[in-house]
Amino acid sequence: EIVLTQSPGTLSLSPGERATLSCRASPPISTSYLAWYQQKPGQAPRLLIYGASSRATGIPDRFSGTGSGTDFTLTISRVEPEDFGVYYCQQFGGSPPRTFGQGTKVEIK
């Protein structure tokens, strides 16, 4: 079974700061088989990044994804007030074929 572990659990930041969110896969997954989602309170998740590093339609370029195999990272270059929420990574292709990480909450400092 593939397990995705996200860290930190909570990230407290001020607007304008850089956010670095980690997602670790065990066992390793194929590089392009990872997606990232943003969820705001009371809303459905929204696709941010697919294929580990491609931005979904309409996603600002301050969001970027990198990584391969075991370690993946979502970076927000300069956090905006509307970026606060919970971020999930999700894998494809393992067993089971879709799983989510437990989430990282980005909150206002």
Partner 1 sequence: QVQLQESGPGLVKPSQTLSLTCTVSGGAISGSDYYWHWIRQHPGRGLEWIGYIYSTGSTYYSPSLKSRATISVDTSKNQFSLRLSSVTAADTAMYYCAREDPPTTYYYYGMDVWGQGTTVTVSS
Binding region for partner 1 (CB under 8 A): 1, 30, 32-35, 37, 39, 43-47, 49-51, 56-57, 86, 88, 90, 92-93, 96-103
Contact 99, 4 (CB under 8 A): yes
- Beta carbon of residue 4, minimum distance to partner 1 (angstroms, whole number): 10
- Beta carbon of residue 87, minimum distance to partner 1 (angstroms, whole number): 11
CB of 14 or CB of 96, closer to partner 1: 96
CB of 30 or CB of 62, closer to partner 1: 30
CB of 14 or CB of 95, closer to partner 1: 95
Whether the bond between 28 and the residue before it is cis, its omega within 30 degrees of 0, is no
Contact 59, 48 (CB under 8 A): yes
43 CB-near residues (< 8 Å, 6+ apart)? none
- Beta carbon of residue 98, minimum distance to partner 1 (angstroms, whole number): 4
